[in-house]
Amino acid sequence: MKRRDFLKNTVSAAILPTFMNGFAVKAFGSSSLLSALESASADNDHVLVMIQLVGGNDGLNMVVPIDLYAKYQAIRPNIAIPQGKLLPLVNNVKTGIHPAMTGIQQLYEEGKVCIIQSVGYPSPNYSHFRATDIWVSGSDANQIVETGWGGRYLDTQYPGYPDGYPNYDNPDPLAIQIGSIVSPAFQGANTNTGIAISSATDFYNLLDDVVDPVPNTHAGVELAYVRLIAKQTNKFSDSIKKAAQNVTSQSEYPDTQLGRQLKIVARLVAGGLKTRMYMVSMGFFDTHASQTQGGDNTTGYHAELLKELSEGIKAFMDDLTKLKASRRVVGMTFSEFGRRIKSNSSMGTDHGAAAPMIVFGDYVQQGVLGTSPDIPDSGSVADNTPMQYDFRSVYASLLEQWFCVDNTTLQSILFKDYQRLPIVSGIACGTITGIDDVNNGSKGLITNYPNPFVDTTTLKYKTRGGHTMIQIFDTMGRLVGVPVNNVMAGGEYTAVFDSKKLAAGIYYARLQNGVFQEVRSMLKVKV
Amino acid sequence: MDRRQFLSLSAKPQPAVKATTTGSRTDSGISAYTGTFDTAQAVHLLKRTMFGATPEDIAWVKSVGMDAAVEALLTTVTAVTTQPVNTYGEDEHGILPGESWVNSPPPSSDDEDAKRWNSYKAWWIGVMINQSRSIQEKMVLFWHNHFVTEMDMTHDSRYIYKYNTTLRANATGNFKALTKAITLDPAMLRYLNGYLNSKAGADENYARELHELFTVGKGPDSHYTEEDVRATARVLTGFRINANTITTYFESTEHDITNKEFSDFYSNKKITGKTGQDGATELDDLLTIIFAQPECAKFIVRKLYRWFVYYLIDDAVEANVITPLATIFRNNNYELLPVLRALFKSEHFYDPLNMSALIKSPIDHNVGLVREFGVKFPTAYMDAYDAWDRLRSHAASMLQDIGEPPQVAGWQPYYQEPQYHEMWINTDTLPKRNQFTDAMVSEGGFGGVAIDVLAFAKKLSNPSDPVQLVTDSVAVLYRIDVSDKFKAWLKNTILLSGQNPDSDYYWTDAWNAWAAYPTDTALRTVVESRLRTLYKYLMNLSEYQLS
């Protein structure tokens, strides 16, 4: 086997329970001049911080549709947040956010938050495991992809990694996971491009040179020895230590799982580490029951989680601002799925589909992208939020507007040409479109008649020209048809949606044209 | 050296330093072990006497119990039915690809012979992987490290193959008989110049090693003299090799027929010189003299102890383990089985203070891994040899190349004070171990073979229960205890992907979904990717290096 093949087959990134052993880094051969020359990757020093909300975040209680409040209240009466308690967003009358998220509200006011409504993908999977794999790999629902979207991006920027890394130009890890298991999001073709910092405790242990105790036996002696060698093979430990030591004081953080993780990220970013992507995570979003506390729906399990999320992000941004490093950072939240529109009787919500994402940072465009999600009048437990934006559109937009990735490279990373959304200010990479332009342009693009309908209905739609697509989803988010998928001249067109083989119920027609999109709800009835 | 200095050291291989922690000393001896004999003890016994412990073997040991398991492991001898074959293509003697070359005519040059080295080594790896429930293969490797020969100095792979069969035939038999067989073995005669040893000018090469490395050793109580070495060399004059038949014969005209006298370390014994073919029997007289020296038994027992238990021999171990085992060895005329039987049934062997401390050798690491996970090898001989060779060459890059110990003393980790086994692990070799395990557990595998994590998990007691799955996996792969907290963490973080710790059913559902539709790629990937992460993680931890 050639060395190249060997590396290709190596799923690298050892992760060890103590920080001493905590880096996933293997000692590879000497640095190669070629790969050093090739790595003209540091076009900018931008950093993306991903916050994974494990378990499936109830997006509908995090970002609440004020414009559809009565419907919202009716469909989940036992957990609905009272309208008066919702935190308003400046210059936005349609949307409120959970009362625990004052930090996000303030950041929004400062112009540093973009909320993207109803992010999902066609035919969503309702299994935590599979859905997570889809989100981190960036695959289609019916496609198995072994690499991660972050790993594929880093592969394009740091060819040949890990062979020859670290080197003079690239002394630092490409991606860092705060947590012991490096996310598959960083899996590249050769190897996982991420390394792990196993926990906050272990991070500070590294700085303090603390070693975990071993048993007082012969085995303990040998274990200590092997750990010592493992520590010496951590090629990045010096650069991480050095960066951490450049920061001598940080602002206050909440003493939470997320707060502790983000504090480390801020220290490394501000300390000058050139790492491009960070992943942190918090768990317990799988709120099947008791997500609100009886008597006061602004409190409870989910409120605690959103408070931790909001306070963590606020403290992180404040700290970065004080450390003069905030302009280098964009952050985003994601979860494997949202939850069902209708609540269950145990004051919780079951696995759902599309949900909002929060993107934050100094260069992020303030606004709420998309409309409030469609909420049925007399909903069933099977009803799901239809997607407005594909999650890979968000990835594509961040890669293009924050990491300045060109279109050809983008398509090699994400396999397709996904719609780009105005998330990051054009100043960062020289791309310009405003959220208001997009939202205003995304109105009145598609209607259907008759509605309700029995078998067929005619879709009437407008396109500004270029690529135009209409996807039909059922309430489970399943893609049941693509009646239009063409490059066409601007104008008004019609298409027929034939539903003879489909059950009666609500269907969504999603029109996408360039940056614009609109979701139209349609009702199929029995004769 | 303090820890701060360590952090600033470069990553290139360097002599590592003894850990400062001291393990507790234990006074346990060779009295029969009567304590608990459960999974931990069964895995311990298997990992030490074989390469790795498979779930099937663990179940077997537990079902028959310690006495029966030890007896079977020690007395089962399975004949090897294969021979190394032509994997190199054109052969000067017309050996066809896929055919055995062990009985071919002699090679015409070193280059012609060198073609066969990898074939021999790969074949041997294959034999190790396919070992039966027996100590046989660990003992063959033990003797290779003891009675060393090197292929690149012997230059005849046929000799080396025969030497391997000699070790194999005597591996758990009589040490004195093995010593005689090795003394007359063509590969050894070639390696240490015995075949040149003549009355006109005795060659002392083998004679010296016979004392220093093969029998009495050079411990503090070993006082053989230079005169003993010279006398021994003269005893051993006259042995020659027939290269066509690969046999040894005695050339009496080259034999020194004068008397040979030994020092008081050997009780001033004297060998009367013999003429004609009788001269060859002076070897028996020589071995009788050497084996009468008690240090001989002690030296071998210490070496067995370092191979099977731990390298540190303090006063307590010397008094409570080495000395009584050496007595058993002598009382049984150097039969190995009584010694091994006593050791593997002893309190000392199962003493928790002694267990789990052996750093796996590279061969133990690689062969043990493929055995424990039940890695399937191809049946087509070229593919199989290729996979075995990759496994062998990677072990070689981690400092243990079978067939080529670095010198006549064997591999340094078995004798070099004070580090001993720790020498296997340095900043170059540890990442290579990680690369190997990472590759083996990934989809692409290593050398064309890969771990089937699903097949392995299916052998465990209840793989649909994530708690039990982690517990069972750790019990097979590790010998050092990890806390319940750590196991819970593995379960939550990896098998449950960070979902709520009380939602074990997510794993159970995922496992059962795949089990119901084993051909569904998406369902398989969900469980397979998490198992890969789990096993990759476990094998990356320092704990995995200990047996």
The secondary structure of chain A in percent helix, strand, coil, rounded to multiples of 5, reads: 30, 25, 45
Q: pLDDT tens-digit profile of B340-397?
A: 999 999 999 999 989 999 999 999 999 999 999 999 999 999 999 999 999 999 999 9
**What mean pLDDT is predicted for residues A360-386?**
91
Residues in CB range of B9: below 8 A, 6 or more apart: A232
Q: B543, A223: Cβ pair inside 8 Å?
A: yes
Give me the amino acid identity at A423: I
Beta bridge partners of A339: A351
Q: So what's the ipTM on this one?
A: 0.90
| Distances B150 to A138, A522, B161 between C-alpha atoms, Å | 53, 81, 12
SS3 per-residue string spanning A274-301: CCCEEEEEECCCCCCCCCCECCECCCCH
State residue B227's pLDDT score. Answer: 95
Binding-face residues of A in 161-190 toward B, CB within 8 A: 179-181, 184
Which of A286-295, B148-157, B394-403 has the lowest average pLDDT? A286-295
Q: pLDDT tens-digit profile of B143-164?
A: 999 999 999 999 999 999 999 9
Confidence of residue A277 (pLDDT cuts 50, 70, 90): very high
B361 touches chain A (CB under 8 A): no
Which of A29-38, A69-78, A144-153, B296-305 has the lowest average pLDDT? A29-38
State residue A230's pLDDT score. Answer: 84
DSSP A493-515: EEEEEE-TTS-SEEEEEEEEETT
**Residues A42/A26, Cβ–Cβ less than 8 Å:** no
Short-list A101, A78, A6, CA closest to A313: A101
Q: Which of A27-36, A94-103, A424-433 has the highest mean pLDDT?
A: A94-103
State residue B22's pLDDT score. Answer: 54
Binding-face residues of A in 212-231 toward B, CB within 8 A: 214-231
pTM: 0.81
State residue A178's pLDDT score. Answer: 87
State residue A418's pLDDT score. Answer: 94
Write down the H helix ranges in A113-232.
Answer: 128-137, 149-157, 200-208, 218-232
Q: A21, B537: Cβ pair inside 8 Å?
A: no
Q: A222, B447: Cβ pair inside 8 Å?
A: no
| CA atoms of A324 and A232, how far apart (whole Å) | 33
Beta bridge partners of B450: none
| CA atoms of B49 and B58, how far apart (whole Å) | 13
| Distances A469 to A161, A205, A445, A516, A519 between C-alpha atoms, Å | 38, 53, 12, 11, 12
Task: Please provide the distance, in angstroms rounded to a whole number, between the alpha carbons at the two ends of chain B.
Answer: 28
Minimal CA separation from A305 to chain B, in Å: 13
DSSP code at position A471: E
Tell the residue number behind the tokens 């240090």, with chain if given: B295
Q: Is A95 or A166 the better-scoring residue by pLDDT?
A: A95
| CA atoms of A20 and A89, how far apart (whole Å) | 45
Q: Is the pLDDT of residue A25 over 90?
A: no
* Dihedral sign of CA atoms B511, B512, B517, B523 in order: negative
Percent of chain A's residues with pLDDT above 90: 65
Minimal CA separation from B184 to chain A, in Å: 40
Supply the mean pLDDT for chain A: 86
| Distances A525 to A342, A453, A505, A507 between C-alpha atoms, Å | 21, 6, 6, 11
Short-list A127, A210, A446, CA closest to B514: A127
| CA atoms of B262 and B42, how far apart (whole Å) | 47
Half-sphere exposure of A73 (CA within 13 A, CB side): 10
Residue A12, phi then psi, degrees to nearest 5 = -85, -155
State residue A295's pLDDT score. Answer: 84
**What mean pLDDT is predicted for residues A256-284?**
94
| CA atoms of A136 and B271, how far apart (whole Å) | 79
A180, closest residue in chain B (CA to CA): B493
Give me the amino acid identity at B459: K
Q: Which of A284-293, A493-502, A509-518, B129-138 has the highest mean pLDDT?
A: B129-138
Q: B21, A220: Cβ pair inside 8 Å?
A: yes
The gap from C-alpha A154 to its chain's centroid, in whole angstroms, comes to 17
Neighbours of B486 (CB within 10 A): 15
Supply the mean pLDDT for chain B: 93
Minimal CA separation from B98 to chain A, in Å: 21
Q: Is the pLDDT of residue B458 over 50?
A: yes
A523: region left, alpha or beta (phi > 0 left; psi from -120 to 50 alpha): beta
| CA atoms of B303 and A34, how far apart (whole Å) | 49
A28, closest residue in chain B (CA to CA): B431
| CA atoms of B30 and B343, how far apart (whole Å) | 6
Tell the residue number behind the tokens 């998309």, with chain if given: A370
**What mean pLDDT is predicted for residues A332-341?**
97
Q: A1, B446: Cβ pair inside 8 Å?
A: yes
DSSP code at position B213: I
Q: Is the pLDDT of residue B495 over 80?
A: yes
Q: Is the pLDDT of residue B54 over 60?
A: yes
Classify each residue of B30-65 as buried b or exposed e, where b means 16 or more C-beta atoms within 10 Å of its C-beta: beebeeebebbbbbbbbbbbbbbbbbebbebbbeee
Q: pLDDT tens-digit profile of A469-504?
A: 999 999 888 899 999 999 999 999 999 999 999 999
Helices B136-146 and B294-308: angle between axes, nearest 10 degrees: 120
| CA atoms of B491 and A450, how far apart (whole Å) | 53
Cis upstream peptide for A159 (omega within 30°): no
**What mean pLDDT is predicted for residues B282-287?**
98
Which of A92-106, A348-362, A502-516 has the lowest average pLDDT? A502-516
Quote the Cα angle for B163-B165-B169, to 5°. Answer: 120
**What mean pLDDT is predicted for residues B56-82?**
97
Q: Is the pLDDT of residue A200 over 70?
A: no
State residue A33's pLDDT score. Answer: 31
Q: Which of B17, B525, B545 sits opposite A144 (nearest CB)?
A: B525
Q: pLDDT tens-digit profile of B305-343?
A: 999 999 999 999 999 999 999 999 999 999 999 999 999
> Beta strand B270-271 with B260-261: parallel, antiparallel or unpaired?
antiparallel
Q: Which of B19, B506, B525 sits opposite A224 (nearest CB)?
A: B19
A interface mutation test: which of B20, B308, B399, B435 has the most A CBs within 10 A?
A: B435
Q: pLDDT tens-digit profile of B91-115?
A: 999 999 999 999 999 999 999 999 9
State residue A207's pLDDT score. Answer: 66
> Beta strand A47-53 with A277-282: parallel, antiparallel or unpaired?
parallel
**What mean pLDDT is predicted for residues A327-355?**
95
